[in-house]
Structure formats: structure tokens, C-alpha cells
A and B are shown apart, each in its own frame.
Chain A
Amino acid sequence: MLSADNKRSKIDVQESELGATADIQEAVDAPSRTLPAIEFRDVHLSFDDKKILNGVSFTVRRGETKIILGRSGGGKSTTIRLILGLLKPDSGQILVDGEDITHYSEQEMMRVRQKMGMVFQEGALFDSLSVYENVAYRLHEQKVDEETVEKEVRRMLRFVDLEDAIDKMPSELSGGMRRRVGIARALVGDPTIVMFDEPTAGLDPPTARTICELAIKLRDLEDVSSIFVTHEMNNLEYLSSEYATVNDAGEVIYEMEGEKLCLINTEVIMLRDGQIIFSGKDEQLRKAEDPYITKFIRGK
């Protein structure tokens, strides 16, 4: 068990060692931790006559990764755009940290977006800005002093292992590097919620694996809640069966779930024509008998 539960086990050790039970238990049970990070309640959305989302409801708990699977045009990216307030639903409610953002104005959404990070499909880096300026964008907008900005940018680029590319322009980067810079940019300001919109689409398998590792690292070591939109089954494989931990040498390593740990902080939902047709663990998904799901998993 990782993330919140992992934290809980670490905390248990501290309890016995230090005896600081009350404070720690309070932190774990704080209302902000028990509230879902994201909640959809019967959300409907149509463009002209086409139903994009039809009564979608789900929750993303703190430190949980929700993988949204589905074919192109199934409403996966729309779900993310709704959470960011880039689109408004026709009906239903969307809650972020228990706050109903459904009818928030653009101005109000600016505040909510401060705690969210978004990784776009192609990176969506600003072409006219260097890697440094792209990653520093949010901090520059907040008029943070340059010394702090540089420190934070370097920290984020180290996280995605791209510190050497700090002075490059987006046009000089490969597809995978662009996505990683996009991840670094999304993580500036330590958002508690991160959304990935098909971040591995069109990438070679090792680079796609690197992107998934970053998402795992965020989930397990940074306690970030995330939505990972994808239609690639190997992404599901990595995210739902591996976890990140730190070894004795202080290095981040990735281990398979098994005897030692069972991942409960990653769930899958599958969308079809704007409706959730599956919600649960990856093992349940693989056992599902729905012909659409089996065709999606096996490709035939």
C-alpha cells in the first residue's frame, strides 16, 4: 500500500518512536485529506447534438491516480478540460478539494488552477520561450524573485532529468523531452493535482516508460492526486503494477507490486461514448467480459 497509507505506516513508526500520536493522527485524519481531490457528480456535456459526457460520476482520492481509458473521441480529454475549467458542463457538479467549481468564473478558476498542473499531449510549450522560461512561466507571472525562480526551475528540471536542456528552445527538443519539460512546467508551484492528457502518445517505448515513471514518482513520493488519460495499455501496466520508493543510497527505484505491497492508490475508469462502462482495479478490468473492454485490451 502506498501514498497515504504508506505515509500512515511511516507515521506509525514515528508514533512508537517519538510518541507524538495526537498531532500525527490529527494530520492524517484532517478534513482536507479525507475530502476527494476531484469529484464528478452526474456530469453531462454536449457539443451541438453530440453527447460528449453522459452522466459521468467518479472521485479521485488524495494521492490516487485515476487512469482514464477509452478510444479517441470518448470524452477523456474533455474530462480534464472540465476539471481545469476550460469547458463548462451542461449539468452536474465538479468539485475540486470539496469546492464546487462548476459555475466558477474565469477569474475564480485562476485561483483554483494554482493548485493544479496539466501535462498536455504534445507538451504545449510556448514556442517563443526557452525551456527555462517555459518552466518558470507560472513563477514569472506571480512576480517571484529571479533567484527563487532559478532554484525552483532547476529543481523541477532535475526531477524530469533535463537540467542540461535549461537554455534550449522548444524547437531544439525531441518529442519526449518536450513532454518532460511540460511535466516540469506543470509541477512548478507543487500542485496537489496533476492531469496528464495522453502524455505518451506517439513516443517510443523507453521514453513512454520514462513519462510513466515520472507519474509513478509523483504519486508515490510526492502524494499528488492525478488523472492519467491514455489509450495505451502499457501505460496502464506500468502505473497499476509498479511503485516508486527510495533505496538506502537515496535513489528512486521502481518495484513491482506483489508480496511486499499491493497498490490501492491506482484505479481505472473506461469511457465509451461519454459514459463510464468500467470503474475499478486493473485486475478487474482484465477479467471484464464486456466485448468492448476485451477488444480494447486485446486489440481484437
Chain B
Amino acid sequence: MNPLKNFIFQLQEISLLVWQAFIGLFRKPRYLSETIRQMDLIGVGSLPIVLLTGFFTGGVLILQTYPTLEYYGGQSEAGHAVATSLIRELGPVLTALIVSGRIGSAISAELGSMVVSQQIDAMRALGTDPTRKLVSPRIVALIFMLPLLTVAGDVFGIIGGSIVASNLFNQPANTFLSSVRIGITPQDLIGGSIKPLFFGLIIGCISCYKGLSTTGGTVGVGRSTTNAVVLSSIWVIVFDFFISKALQTVLDIGRL
């Protein structure tokens, strides 16, 4: 199969999977406990790493931008600069990339192992639809948890920036936080929360599809896992551009 045909085929398969997962949400039996379990795994499980990344990203942003802002006499806007870049861009994208690496790989490996050990076939033979039982809860959990993780990462980024600003550049925390409060707009917050919804969908669809389409035994599981992480990360970055552009148009974000 040539690459273009292959791409279109995979797009079609992913679209079908998403549609079946969506339809599955409205049919019985519903797997609420499985969805909550996935939310716990994805949300609570990823929280420490997201907070740590957010904290140090906020810190390094101040470390890199403060001297420049100081040069132009704009150091009082340091909080604004960090908060805007974190909330609009870095928070959603970094969180999505971390979740894609941690959760996308786990989903793909788990489903891939189930395919090669015939557990998916067994599930179907026992009268359970794997899309409803395995795919829908994971996608729903990702769509719900990614925005929450992003907000947590943003908050810790701002805290990290504030600590670096006060300890390394002697800027009072009050000044920094006032700048944050004045600088960010409701549109920034809305835009920063909408992006992770799409990123959660992208990671969920690609990881589940790659896992369920695993072939070739344990080597195939490894291949699927790598592909899931690489593709999710690439598509998160590609979609980030288009979603940003759409949000700029719709919410008038990003214009000074």
C-alpha cells in the first residue's frame, strides 16, 4: 500500500473507531466504573509529572525572559509573559506531550498485548464490544482529564515562575502575581482549556487505534507503542497550530 493510500486508510479506520466509541457511550451496558478507573490512572497518575514539568517550565521561562524584559525596562510584565505563554501555548502542548508519552504508550501497549494474546477476540467471543469496553472509557477519560491536568500544570508553572523571579531576580511575588492577574484574559483561559479537549481526543484515538491494529506478536506491540507516541505527539503539535488559529478567529485571542 502506498503511503498516501495507507494514510487515508488509517484516517478512515480512526474515524470509524471514534464514531463507534461515541455511539457506544449511549448504549448499554455502560462502563462507568472503567471510565472512572481510567480517569484515575490518567489524571491522578499523571499529576506529579505534569506538576513537576509545569513548575520547571514556568521557572525556566522567567530565567530566560527576565533579563530581556529588564533590558527594555519591562520586568514588571514578567508574570504576564509567563502566564500568557503557559496558558495559551506551553501548558496545553507540554501536558499533551507528557500524557501522550506516558498514557498513549500505556494504552497502545496494553491493547496491543491484548490483541496478540487473543484477549480482544476472547472479549468479542464472550459478547463484549471491545470498542465500548476499552476505547470509549479511555477516550472519555483523556478528554476530561487533560484540561484538568493542563490547568494544574499552568498553576504550577506560574508558581515556579514566581519563585524564580523572587529568588533569582528579587522581584516581589506580589508584583509577579499582579502582572499575571492583569495580563491574562478570560479568552486566554477559555482557549487554554479548549485545546486540551482536542488533544485528549487525538491521543486517545491514535493510541487506541494503534493498539487495536497491532500485528506481529511482541515486536508488533513495541512498534505500535512507538508509533502511537510519535504520531500522537506530531498530531498534537500540528493541530495546535490550527486550533490556535481557529481560537484567534473565534475568541479574538492573541491580539494585543
Contact = CB atoms under 8 A, between A and B. Distances in A.
Interface residues of A, number: 25
Nearest to B130: A106
Contacts of B254: none
Contacts of B117: 122, 124, 127
A106 B124 CA distance: 9
Nearest to A138: B126
B118 A113 contact: no
B215 to A, nearest CB: 12
Interface in A78-137: 81, 84-86, 106-107, 110, 113-114, 116-118, 120-122, 124-127, 137
Interface string B119-160: 101111111110000000000000000000000000000000
Contacts of A231: none
Contacts of A124: 117-119, 121-122
A44 interface: no
A124 B121 CA distance: 8
A185 interface: yes
A106 B127 contact: no
Contacts, number: 55
A10 interface: no
Given A141-B29, A143-B29, A116 B125 contact: yes
B29, B121, B123: most-surrounded residue (chain A CB, <10 A) = B121
B139 to A, nearest CB: 18
Interface of A: 81, 84-86, 106-107, 110, 113-114, 116-118, 120-122, 124-127, 137-138, 141, 143, 185-186
Interface of B: 29, 113, 117-119, 121-129
22 contacts: A81-B121, A84-B124, A86-B121, A86-B124, A86-B125, A110-B127, A113-B125, A113-B126, A113-B127, A118-B122, A118-B125, A120-B118, A120-B121, A122-B118, A124-B117, A124-B122, A126-B119, A126-B123, A127-B113, A138-B127, A185-B126, A186-B125
